Amino acid sequence: MKKCYTYDDINIIPKYSDIEHRDKINISTRFTKKTLLDVPIVSSPMDTITEYDMANEMLEWGGVGVIHRFMSIEKQSRQMKQLKYQFDSYFSQDEKDWDKEYEEATEDDDRELILHIMDGNDRWSKRPLCAAIGVTEDYLERARELELNGCNVLLIDVAHGHHKLVGDAIEEIKTRLPSIEVIAGSVATGEACEYLCEKGADAIRIGIGNGSLCETRIRTGVGIPQVTALLDCVAVADTYGCPTIADGGIRTVGDVCKGLSCGADSIMLGSLLSGTKETPGEIEKVGKWPNEQLYKKYRGSASLDSKKSRGNNKNVEGNHKVIPYKGKVKRIITDIQEGLRSSFSYVGANNLSEFHSKVELIQVTRAGNIEGQPHLL
């Protein structure tokens, strides 16, 4: 029987570093085969995490938000259209002919600055606008409408990605909508990853049964600890040149760093972003001033609460809770950016590619884990 590991079982080994300024470390990454992110953060397609407000905020900060599918086609498409409009407004602010500006520049410093701007514009043009779909009923109609309204990446959002319906959906979308990229999952084995890559997936979502509200392992006994799942899947995905997204098991910024250390190209977040201003839902007030406390609802996509809102109460594998209100999501994104750059510097890595090649992991005991937590004598 194979021994498996999760984030609490490992630490990153510090190495020699010659990095003088952490703020110069590049934390950009691939999201899919054709799209790029300035920050390796993806907001989860949960109905209490990502709608337009979160997707727009993630876009502005250099990550990506996946607009969830638990709404009508019309509403989801309308949100995508709104996001595309915002994307175009960011991109169209710079209307200069930079090729001409470069040719006419006389100073080396000016030329260097213009090249930097041109590189930034090129990266911006490769940003993803992403939304989730299923694999049954209206999924093709939903995919078409999303593409018409600006979506360039679709995420097939199902619990078990190693499935015939998922493979068929990838092939169908690739045939009917050849310009759009497809992220497939969720999976947790190299065999499943190979299946999706062979079907034409442009990125793989990795993680089964490890979300903070997920009860899959409790109710079904199915799942693989995330570190083992990542190592197995990334080894296969890399042979296909297919980016990977680590989804689930993230409780701290350190876990985000560990996810990338296992070879993932980006990290999907749910609970870390929950309770923020940009998440869907109303702020709930409990108590009276001056002891008033603020909360927001957070629920798993397979929770009874979520399924009931869609007229279904079968195959429940999730939970729901209320989260203390956290304010704007930018504080969390900034914390993650700082943590990533610090982690890269401990390994002597200037970018994610170097981090992947230089990083080494060590197994830690339970006592070692406790030692790593804040403690007093």
Label each residue of 78-104 as H, E or C: HHHHHHHHHHHHHHCCCCCCHHHHHHH
Split at pLDDT 50, 70, 90, the class of 111 is low
Q: What pLDDT is recorded for position 55? A: 97
Q: What pLDDT is recorded for position 244? A: 98
Q: What pLDDT is recorded for position 156? A: 98
The answer for residues whose C-beta is within 8 angstroms of residue 79's C-beta and 6 or more apart is: 51, 52, 55, 67
Q: What pLDDT is recorded for position 44? A: 97
Q: Which residue is it, tokens 């190592």?
A: 231
Q: Are 197 and 237 in contact (CB under 8 A)?
A: yes
Split at pLDDT 50, 70, 90, the class of 1 is confident
pLDDT digits (tens, 9 = 90+) for 15-25: 999 999 999 99
Q: What pLDDT is recorded for position 77? A: 98
Least confident of 56-60, 87-91, 170-174, 318-322: 318-322
Q: What pLDDT is recorded for position 113? A: 53
The answer for residues whose C-beta is within 8 angstroms of residue 244's C-beta and 6 or more apart is: 203, 204, 205, 206, 230, 233, 234, 237, 263, 264, 265, 266
Q: Would you call 262 a catalytic residue per the annotation?
A: no
Taking residue 164's Cβ as centre, other Cβ atoms within 10 Å add up to 9
Q: Are 229 and 206 in contact (CB under 8 A)?
A: yes
**Burial code of 268-284, b = ≥16 C-beta within 10 A, e = fewer?**
bbbbbbbbbebbbbeee
Whether 308 has a pLDDT exceeding 80, the answer reads no
Among candidate residues 170, 182, 87, the one with its CA nearest the CA of residue 126 = 87
To the nearest whole number, what is the mean pLDDT of the chain?
A: 88
Q: Tell me the HSE value of 239 on the side-chain side, using a 13 A CA sphere.
A: 12
Rounded CA-CA distance 256/246 in Å is 9
Q: At what angle do helices 108-125 and 73-91 cross, to 10 degrees?
A: 170
Whether 48 has a pLDDT exceeding 60, the answer reads yes
pLDDT above 70 covers a percentage of the chain that reads 85
Whether 117 has a pLDDT exceeding 60, the answer reads no
Rounded CA-CA distance 192/356 in Å is 22
- List the structure tokens of 245: 């997204």
Among candidate residues 370, 362, 373, 377, the one with its CA nearest the CA of residue 5 = 362
Q: What pLDDT is recorded for position 124? A: 61
130, 151, 197, 214: the active-site residue: 214
Q: What pLDDT is recorded for position 109? A: 57
Split at pLDDT 50, 70, 90, the class of 304 is low
Cα–Cα–Cα angle for 42, 362, 352, rounded to 5 degrees: 35
Whether 30 has a pLDDT exceeding 90, the answer reads yes
**Burial code of 319-336, b = ≥16 C-beta within 10 A, e = fewer?**
bebbbebbeebeebbeeb
Among candidate residues 142, 139, 135, the one with its CA nearest the CA of residue 73 = 142
123 exposed, middle or buried (CB, 10 Å; 0-12, 13-18, 19+)? middle
Q: What pLDDT is recorded for position 377? A: 61
146 exposed, middle or buried (CB, 10 Å; 0-12, 13-18, 19+)? buried
Average pLDDT over residues 192-197: 98
Q: What pLDDT is recorded for position 104? A: 67
Rounded CA-CA distance 153/285 in Å is 37
Split at pLDDT 50, 70, 90, the class of 321 is confident
Whether 120 has a pLDDT exceeding 70, the answer reads no
Least confident of 109-118, 223-232, 368-377: 109-118
Q: What pLDDT is recorded for position 209? A: 84
Split at pLDDT 50, 70, 90, the class of 62 is very high
Q: Are 40 and 265 in contact (CB under 8 A)?
A: yes
Rounded CA-CA distance 327/276 in Å is 5
Sorted by where each starts, the structural domains of the chain and their CATH numbers stand as 7-94+125-367 (3.20.20.70)
Average pLDDT over residues 165-174: 98
pLDDT digits (tens, 9 = 90+) for 236-288: 999 999 999 999 999 999 999 999 999 999 999 999 999 999 999 888 888 88
